């Protein structure tokens, strides 16, 4: 069963590649419209030194922006949950900010922060920030008040209640937001490179190759960006399994007992 679970994603990737190849072959799609998987892979190998360098820039923007958005979103959600006045004031503002397209925010960011790394990090952080705030608030709102009151009656202070009750309650919704954020953070990095940056990255490389009609190179960049987003999602999934073991294991692990045989007549 475990082997089947591990093999399923690989089979899914092979299925996508097979459909891709069949579409190119049977529909006679020109290479400048849709290159075959083989040509895309060859373009990736031929330009790998350049692509790997640019991918490093984009990956750095993605990671730093993701961590910044997660930290700010979590702290703001905890603050809003404890200070109801803050929640009433800030929550409508947060909802309103989501009505503004992320691409439209790039222009004011350039005016405020200039071209460079800063606007790209802000764009990535904004993409991750809102889901974290909403999900953590939902987790804190769903806490059983009876459990909190019981902990208080047993002498637990605010810090202990937060660590033992409130924080674990936020982990499941938090990781739901983090998995989405990890997948979309690379999109924010690319948008930032397109609209608010003159520094190198895979987003800039996509525009350059597209202007040269290097379709295979464009698809090669897309494959690398997809790998970054998928890798972030899988990493968050792994961290979720480690941080919330109760979701996959309903009972505690049995303690190992010494493999000794006892005499059935022994009264002990």
Which pLDDT band, with edges at 50, 70 and 90, does 221 fall under? very high
The reported pLDDT for the residue numbered 255 is: 47
- The whole-number average pLDDT for the span 15-24 is 88
pLDDT tens, residue by residue, 7-19: 777 788 888 889 9
- The whole-number average pLDDT for the span 95-120 is 82
Does residue 17 belong to any structural domain of this protein? no
The mean pLDDT value of the chain amounts to 83
Does residue 102 belong to any structural domain of this protein? yes
The reported pLDDT for the residue numbered 5 is: 66
Q: Which residues contact 46 (CB under 8 A, 6 or more apart)?
A: none
Residue 3 has pLDDT above 80, yes or no: no
**Domain, as residue range, for 143:** 36-241
The dihedral region occupied by 155, where left means phi > 0, alpha psi between -120 and 50, and beta the remainder, is: left
Does residue 143 belong to any structural domain of this protein? yes
Better-scored residue on pLDDT, 40 or 197: 40
Residue 196 has pLDDT above 80, yes or no: no
Does residue 29 belong to any structural domain of this protein? no
Q: Specify the pTM.
A: 0.83
Quote the number of domains for the chain. 1
End-to-end CA distance of the chain: 41
The reported pLDDT for the residue numbered 248 is: 65
Residue 6 has pLDDT above 90, yes or no: no
The reported pLDDT for the residue numbered 268 is: 47
Q: How far is CA 14 from CA 37, 42, 218, in A?
A: 11, 17, 21
Whichever domain contains 67, its CATH number is: 1.10.3720.10
Does residue 30 belong to any structural domain of this protein? no
Q: How many Å apart are CA 17 and CA 37, to the nearest integer?
A: 7
- The whole-number average pLDDT for the span 56-72 is 94
Does residue 258 belong to any structural domain of this protein? no
pLDDT tens, residue by residue, 134-192: 999 888 887 777 777 777 788 777 777 778 778 888 888 899 999 999 988 999 899 88
The reported pLDDT for the residue numbered 2 is: 64
* Range of 109-123, 144-158, 216-230 with top mean pLDDT: 216-230
**Quick one: which of 140, 233, 228, 141 has its CA closest to 178?**
233
The reported pLDDT for the residue numbered 250 is: 53
Residue 252 has pLDDT above 50, yes or no: no
Does residue 253 belong to any structural domain of this protein? no
The reported pLDDT for the residue numbered 249 is: 61
Which pLDDT band, with edges at 50, 70 and 90, does 259 fall under? very low
Q: Which residues contact 192 (CB under 8 A, 6 or more apart)?
A: 61, 106, 119, 120, 121, 122, 123, 124, 203
Residue 226 has pLDDT above 60, yes or no: yes
Does residue 221 belong to any structural domain of this protein? yes
Q: How many Å apart are CA 250 and CA 244, to the nearest integer?
A: 11
């Amino acid at each position: 069963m475990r082997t089947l679970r591990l093999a399923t994603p690989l089979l899914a990737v092979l299925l996508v590649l097979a459909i891709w190849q069949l579409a190119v072959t049977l529909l006679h799609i020109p290479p400048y419209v849709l290159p075959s998987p083989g040509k895309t892979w060859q373009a990736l190998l031929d330009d790998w030194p350049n692509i790997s360098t640019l991918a490093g820039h984009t990956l750095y923007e993605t990671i730093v922006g993701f961590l910044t958005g997660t930290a700010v979103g979590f702290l703001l959600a905890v603050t809003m949950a404890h200070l109801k006045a803050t929640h009433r004031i800030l929550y409508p503002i947060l909802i309103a900010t989501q009505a503004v397209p992320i691409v439209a925010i790039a222009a004011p960011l350039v005016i405020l922060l200039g071209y460079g790394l800063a606007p790209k990090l802000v764009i990535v952080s904004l993409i991750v920030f809102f889901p974290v705030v909403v999900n953590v608030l939902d987790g804190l709102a769903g806490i059983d008040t009876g459990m909190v009151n019981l902990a208080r009656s047993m002498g637990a202070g605010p810090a202990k209640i937060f660590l033992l009750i409130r924080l674990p309650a936020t982990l499941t919704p938090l990781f739901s937001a983090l998995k989405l954020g990890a997948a979309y953070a690379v999109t924010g990095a690319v948008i930032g490179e397109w609209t608010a940056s003159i520094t190198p990255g895979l987003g800039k490389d996509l525009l350059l190759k597209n202007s040269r009609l290097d379709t295979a190179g464009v698809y090669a960049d897309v494959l690398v960006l997809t790998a970054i987003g998928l890798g972030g999602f899988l990493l968050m999934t792994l961290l979720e399994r480690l941080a919330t073991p109760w979701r996959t294991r309903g009972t505690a692990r049995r303690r190992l007992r010494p493999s000794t045989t006892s005499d059935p007549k022994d009264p002990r």
